[in-house]
Amino acid sequence: MKRIGIHIVLIFATSIFFLSSCTKDSGPIIIRPPVDTLSFADTILPIFLAKCLNCHPGFADLDLGVTNGYSDLVSVNSIAFPGYERVAPYDPQNSVLYQKVAGNSQFGTVMPLYADRLTDDEIGLIYDWIAQGALNN
C-alpha cells in the first residue's frame, strides 16, 4: 500500500514538472547577425550619387543629391503611392524607396529606371539603413 502511494506521488510530481515546463512558449528565437550602424553619408548617399542622380533631380520631385537626398526621402509622402512614405524610418517594407529598388511590382517601376538593378548588397544596405531608423549620420 505504502509503495503504491509513493508511486502516485512521484507520477504526480513528474507530471507537474513537465506541465509547468510547457507553459512558457515564447516562439522561435531568431538570431540575426548584428549589423553595424550604417552611415547615410558614407554608405547610402554614394549609391544614389552613382546610380540615381542622373534622373533625380528631374523626375518625381525627388532630388537624391548631397544637399537634398536625405530631406527629400525620409518621412516624405510618396507622390505615386498615397499612404506610403518614401522612407518610413524603422519600416523598410512600407518604404517606397526600398520596395522600388527591391523590385516589388506593387510599387510600379523598378529603380533605377532603364538601368541594371542595384546589387543585392546595395539593396540590403538600404534595407538595413531604414530598419536602423534611417539616421542622418
- The footprint of ligand HEC on residues 30-49 (CB under 6 A) is 48
Q: 121-136 burial string, b = 16+ CB within 10 Å, else e?
A: ebbebbbbbbbbebee
Taking the complex as a whole, how short is the minimal distance between the CB of residue 104 and ligand HEC, in angstroms? 12
Write out the binding residues for ligand HEC, residues 47-106 only, by CB under 6 A.
Answer: 48, 51-52, 54-56, 59-60, 62, 78-81, 86, 96-97, 100-101
Told to check if 129 binds ligand HEC by CB under 6 A, we report: no
CB of 84 to ligand HEC, least distance (A): 8
DSSP secondary structure string, 29-59? PP-----PPPPIIIIIHHHHHHHTTTTTTTS
| Residue closer to ligand HEC, measured from CB, 39 or 77 | 77
Closest CB to ligand HEC among residues 97, 134 = 97
Query: Residue 80 and residue 76: Cα distance in Å, rounded?
Result: 12
- How many amino acids of this chain bind ligand HEC (CB under 6 A)? 26
Residue 81 exposure: Cα atoms within 13 Å on the Cβ side: 18
Candidate list 74, 112, 127, 130; residue touching ligand HEC; CB under 6 A: 112
- Residues 106 and 4: their CA atoms lie apart, in Å, by 68
Amino acid at 35: V
Query: In Å, how far are 20, 28, 65 from 120, measured between CA atoms?
Result: 45, 27, 22
The residues of the shown chain that bind ligand HEC, judged by CB under 6 A, are: 48, 51-52, 54-56, 59-60, 62, 78-81, 86, 96-97, 100-101, 108-109, 111-115, 118
